[in-house]
Amino acid sequence: MNAVRRRARRCLAWLRRLVAGAYLRWRRSIQVRVVTSTLCISAIVVAILGAFLTQQMSNALMDSKIKAARLQLDEGLSTVARQLGNQPDNGSRLDNVMAGLKARSGPSGLYEVYIRDTRDSSFDGYSTNELRVESIPQRLRDELRRAPADATAYTFGKLSYVGRPSERGLIVGGKAGQFELYYLFPLTQDQHTLTVVSQALVGVGAVLVLLLAAIASLVTRQVVIPVRLAAQGAQRLAEGKLEERMRVRGEDDLARLARSFNEMAANLQDKIVELEELSQVQRQFVSDVSHELRTPLTTIRIAADMLYEHRDTFDDPMVGRSAELLQSQLERFESLLADLLEISRHDAGAATLDAESLDMRDLVLRAVGDIQNLAEHKGSKVLLQLPGEPCMAEVDRRRVERIMRNLLVNAVEHGEGEDIVVSVAADRDAVAVAVRDHGVGLRPGEGQMVFDRFWRADPARARTTGGTGLGLSISREDAQLHGGWLQAWGEPGSGSQFRLSLPRTAGAELRGSPLPLVPPGAGGRPLYAELEAGE
């Protein structure tokens, strides 16, 4: 019982899979759809056509049969009239006529005959061979009785026999004086003809439908294959393989499609190359400008230094003040120029990783030590959460230190004097450093924008202190150079957290970070931006 149920269930599941698979193929493939609909429509058309043809043939067969039958009946009636009309009735004259009429009847013949003398009540006439008189339907007899003297009538019915199965037949009847004469034609042969023809029609129809399906399959294949190739080409193009082109064959619509596709791809490639070249030129320009500015800047710097050293010697205190101003802005200019050079190096792909195995805790401690003064100046306290064991990773010391310094300076600057928490964590593959401040935080969407070049949280705020506006951009480039992530989280009023995650071995792929981006205990709706390297 269970086995049966299991088998039924398995069968059902298999059926469902089959249907689902078929449906999927139907959804996915134009060819399957076209072939299926061709099959259905042509099957319907062929069926209708076949039915019509068979009907026509049956009608034609029956028409000729009826015509022949009526001729036969007319001949028989005239024989009856001739032979019975002028013979004395001695009881056997009907017998003699019947003997003449029966000649072509019987199993090997064409028809059966039934004749009846309406005035002789002692018997009901004669029939040939095994024919039963019930074969003549009452409706035909009635019709003939009502009809005028020389009328004939016909109908279709079932011929029944003594000792053998009945068969369909055509029954014609007529009157000659007092005699009724019926000819009964079995339609077995015609039925056989029709069966043979309809069998042939079914066969031909099936072949025709299959042929149409095959043609449809072939035609759609011719259309679908170039479309599939185009789809593949477009996909490759989308993947950035701009050299991808379709093969152009012939001059038909599909060739035109391929040609347009190729033109589109070529134009795209041209435009992209052009844009790339343009940005290359711009980067080069920035780099060149930075370089070119250095030399005059050095000179200006020397001059400014001199002026600054002798600021007390100027009579006018205003001049002294100007020298101080010049000095500070020059420093800013220098660091801006250095940052510009750095970022243009990144843009040009000229930045290289100088990796060595280091303990991240040392790096963090040094960076915190560097900004300790600034933090104290701002009134912030830097808290460290460092793990007990070393967090070794292959990193570029200079770049990581720069990232740390950037993050810490930002935290101090935007920390509003609150505590700054620096956490370090490591797992098997990665190390992470998170810098948390409790300042103004970030508004929604700003988590991403902080890494944009020259982005400012408050445009109205004067750029007086610290950053050049490129620090975080460079830091993100540095993190990405390691194959790591630099991500920001922030919430207005709750402060923000920046997390640096780096793989332990340089260039390895980073799958996750040992530290959460959203600090634990950060209440409310966490609003964060997650930026992954290479995204």
Partner 1 sequence: MRCTRGVVAAVLLAVALTGCASVPSGGRVVTGRPAEPAEQVDDPYVRLIPVSPRPEWSPTQLVAGFLAASASFDDGHKVAREYLTGAASSWNPGPRPPVAVFADRPRLEIVAQTATQATVKASGSRLGSIGADGQYTADPKAAEVTFDVVKTAQGPWRIAGLPGDPNNGLILTKSDVDRAFRTVNLYFFAPDGGTLVPNGIFLPLVNRQNLPGQLVRALLAGPTSWLGPAVDSAFPRGTRLRGLRIEDDTAVVDLSVEARSGDVDRMSAQLSWTLRQLSEITRWKLEIAGDTATPHRYGSVQPVRAWDGNAPDGPAVPDQPAYVLGSSGRLSRLAGDQPQPVLPQAAQVVRPAVSGDYKEVAGLSPAGDRVLLRDLAGNSGFRTVLKRHGAGTRFTAPSFDRSGALWTVETGKERSWLWVRPRGGPAFRVSDWGLSGREVVAFRLARDGVRAAVIVKADGRAQLRLGRIVRDQGSSGLEAGAFLAVSSELVDAIDLAWRDYGTLAVLGRKGNDTRVLPYLIPVGGGAISSLGVGALGVPKTIAAAPGAPVLIGTKDEGPGQVCRQRAPHDLISEWICPVPGSDPMYPR
Summarize as ranges the residues that interact with partner 1 (CB under 8 A). Answer: 90-92, 95, 98-99, 102-109, 114, 116, 121-131, 133, 162-164
Min. distance of Cβ 123 from partner 1 in angstroms? Answer: 4
Helices 471-482 & 397-414 angle (0-180, nearest 10): 140
Residue 100 or 507: which CB sits closer to partner 1? 100
Distance in angstroms (rounded) separating the CA atoms of residues 423 and 421: 6
Min. distance of Cβ 164 from partner 1 in angstroms? Answer: 6
Residue 133 or 302: which CB sits closer to partner 1? 133
Min. distance of Cβ 170 from partner 1 in angstroms? Answer: 19
Residues 6+ apart with CB under 8 A from 32: 25, 26
Residue 128 or 410: which CB sits closer to partner 1? 128
Min. distance of Cβ 92 from partner 1 in angstroms? Answer: 4
Residue 95 or 427: which CB sits closer to partner 1? 95
Min. distance of Cβ 95 from partner 1 in angstroms? Answer: 5
Residue 196 or 306: which CB sits closer to partner 1? 196
Residue 163 or 459: which CB sits closer to partner 1? 163
CB 162 within 8 A of CB 130: yes
Q: What is the three-class DSSP state of 68?
A: helix
Residue 182 or 485: which CB sits closer to partner 1? 182
Residue 138 or 313: which CB sits closer to partner 1? 138
Min. distance of Cβ 89 from partner 1 in angstroms? Answer: 11
Q: Find the largest Cα–Cα distance for the chain.
A: 176
Helices 253-309 & 317-347 angle (0-180, nearest 10): 150
Backbone angles phi, psi at 456, to 5 degrees: -135, 135
Q: What is the three-class DSSP state of 432?
A: strand
Min. distance of Cβ 244 from partner 1 in angstroms? Answer: 32
Pairing type for strands 167-176 and 152-159 reads antiparallel
Residue 97 or 367: which CB sits closer to partner 1? 97
15 burial level (CB within 10 Å; 0-12, 13-18, 19+): exposed
Residue 182 or 308: which CB sits closer to partner 1? 182
Min. distance of Cβ 56 from partner 1 in angstroms? Answer: 12
Distance in angstroms (rounded) separating the CA atoms of residues 279 and 242: 18
Min. distance of Cβ 90 from partner 1 in angstroms? Answer: 7
Min. distance of Cβ 14 from partner 1 in angstroms? Answer: 45
Residue 94 or 340: which CB sits closer to partner 1? 94
CB 182 within 8 A of CB 114: yes
Say which DSSP state 477 is in: H
Min. distance of Cβ 275 from partner 1 in angstroms? Answer: 47
Structure tokens at 460: 């109205």
CA dihedral for 304, 306, 312, 316, sign (positive or negative): negative
Distance in angstroms (rounded) separating the CA atoms of residues 183 and 69: 8
Backbone angles phi, psi at 163, to 5 degrees: 75, 10
Q: What is the three-class DSSP state of 157?
A: strand
In DSSP notation, 173-207 reads: EEEETTEEEEEEEE-HHHHHHHHHHHHHHHHHHHH
Amino acid (one-letter) located at 256:
R
CB 408 within 8 A of CB 447: no
CB 71 within 8 A of CB 252: no
Residue 15 or 218: which CB sits closer to partner 1? 218
CB 528 within 8 A of CB 489: yes
Residue in 524, 383, 394, 406 with CA at minimum distance from that of residue 470: 406
Min. distance of Cβ 273 from partner 1 in angstroms? Answer: 43
Distance in angstroms (rounded) separating the CA atoms of residues 483 and 355: 12
Residue 164 or 241: which CB sits closer to partner 1? 164
Min. distance of Cβ 119 from partner 1 in angstroms? Answer: 13
Residue 451 C-beta-side C-alpha neighbours within 13 Å: 24
Distance in angstroms (rounded) separating the CA atoms of residues 366 and 36: 74
